[in-house]
Amino acid sequence: MTSEARPRDEKTEAIWQLLSELEDPEIPALTLMDLGIIREINLEPDGRVEVVLTTTYTACPATHFIELLVAEKLEDAGYEFRLTTKLTPTWTTDWISEEGRRKLREYGIAPPITATTSKKVLMGAKLEIECPQCRSSRTTRISEFGSTPCKSLYKCDDCAEPFEYFKCI
């Protein structure tokens, strides 16, 4: 169950709201909810709360820090909880919300293309990344890696601004 399809009981809703305040440690313009990595919140029979997380990728250096952020928020609010990591289905950039994509653009990072477009690239299609500054599609990749492994470095051929692209996973 994703955050979009969550149940509406008061306790669960309060926990979703509480966790919606948590920012991604690598891209603070996004919340963990924007990224879609908080997958489920379950109320267990013993009264504890289970929060299910799906990491963006298994080698993500921010994974442990994200777990600590969630745990601290729940502890501070007085909840007894258990964090569970679920690796299937694997996280995909398609889980980034529309709000998250908008926030990425405003932050100066080109949001990931859709999985459908990404698959076309595997068949030889040219990847067209839109500049978040001027919206031009005339861009050039400078480096496969940006400030984090999940981003590439690009330059806009029209406005000449450098920017990062959040890679499609």
Q: pLDDT tens, position by position, for the chain (169 residues)?
A: 444 454 568 999 999 999 999 999 999 999 999 999 999 999 999 999 999 999 988 888 889 999 999 999 999 999 999 999 999 999 989 999 999 999 999 999 999 987 555 556 666 667 889 999 999 999 999 998 888 888 999 999 999 999 999 988 7
Q: Single out the residue in 72, 91, 110 at which a domain terminates.
A: 91
89 upstream amide cis, omega within 30 of 0: yes
How confident is the prediction for the chain on average, in pLDDT? Answer: 89
Whole-angstrom distance, CA of residue 168 vs CA of residue 120: 12
In this structure, are 112 and 157 located in the same domain?
A: yes
Whole-angstrom distance, CA of residue 12 vs CA of residue 35: 19
| Enclosing H/E stretch for 122 | helix 115-122
Residue 2: strand, helix, or coil: coil
In this structure, are 48 and 107 located in the same domain?
A: no
Return the structure tokens found at 155: 């330059």
- Residue partners of 88: CB distance under 8 A and separation at least 6: none
Whole-angstrom distance, CA of residue 141 vs CA of residue 82: 42
Q: Single out the residue in 91, 120, 143 at which a domain terminates.
A: 91
Task: Note the pLDDT of residue 2.
Answer: 46
| DSSP assignment letter at 146 | -
One-letter identity of residue 167: K
Q: Check which CATH number belongs to the domain holding 9 and give it.
A: 3.30.300.130
Task: Note the pLDDT of residue 3.
Answer: 47
- The domain total for the chain is 2
In this structure, are 85 and 101 located in the same domain?
A: no
Whole-angstrom distance, CA of residue 155 vs CA of residue 66: 30
In this structure, are 86 and 106 located in the same domain?
A: no
Spatial contact of 22 and 71, defined as CB atoms under 8 Å apart: no
Cα 66 from chain centroid?
12
Whole-angstrom distance, CA of residue 60 vs CA of residue 35: 14
Whole-angstrom distance, CA of residue 158 vs CA of residue 60: 33
Q: What domain range is 80 assigned to?
A: 3-91
